[in-house]
Amino acid sequence: DVVMTQSPLSLPVTLGQPASISCRSSQSLVPSDGNTYLHWFHQRPGQSPRRLIYKVSNRDSGVPDRFSGSGSGTDFTLKISRVEAEDVGVYYCMQATHWPRTFGQGTKLEIK
């Protein structure tokens, strides 16, 4: 199975400051169709996960433009340009190129 490794696992950030989460896969996520199926999710306590970014860099509807995704091959990054209070929670990357799908361990973002 493809192993997804996130870092850091804990991310204390001051309001208004930037934040960055790394996600690395043990295999390339580029399948034969040329797309890279790497998605990012955000989960608040007691809630279901919500997709933020799909196929590396596409923001979902309603996601603020302070969120951005980038990367290729096996190395991906989620960035928040200026952290706001509502951004707290756990962020997960997930690969949907290979079966079975796999998630990163999660990165817990908290406000300092």
Partner 1 sequence: EVQLVESGGGLVQPGGSLRLSCSASGFIFSSDAMHWVRQAPGRGLEYVSGITKNGGSTYYADSVKGRFTISRDDSKNTLFLQMSSLRADDTAVYYCVRGGSGDYSNWGQGTLVTVSS
Query: Site residues (CB under 8 A) for partner 1?
Result: 1, 31, 35, 37, 39, 41, 43, 48-51, 54-55, 60, 90, 92, 94, 96-97, 99-106
Q: SS3 for 110?
A: strand
User: For residues 66 and 108, which CB has a smaller minimum distance to partner 1 in the complex?
Assistant: 108
Residue linked to tokens 């208004």:
16
Q: How far is the CB of 82 from partner 1 (least distance, A)?
A: 25
d(CA 62, CA 58): 12
Q: How far is the CB of 51 from partner 1 (least distance, A)?
A: 5
User: For residues 16 and 61, which CB has a smaller minimum distance to partner 1 in the complex?
Assistant: 61
CA nearest to 88, candidates 108, 106, 69, 103: 108
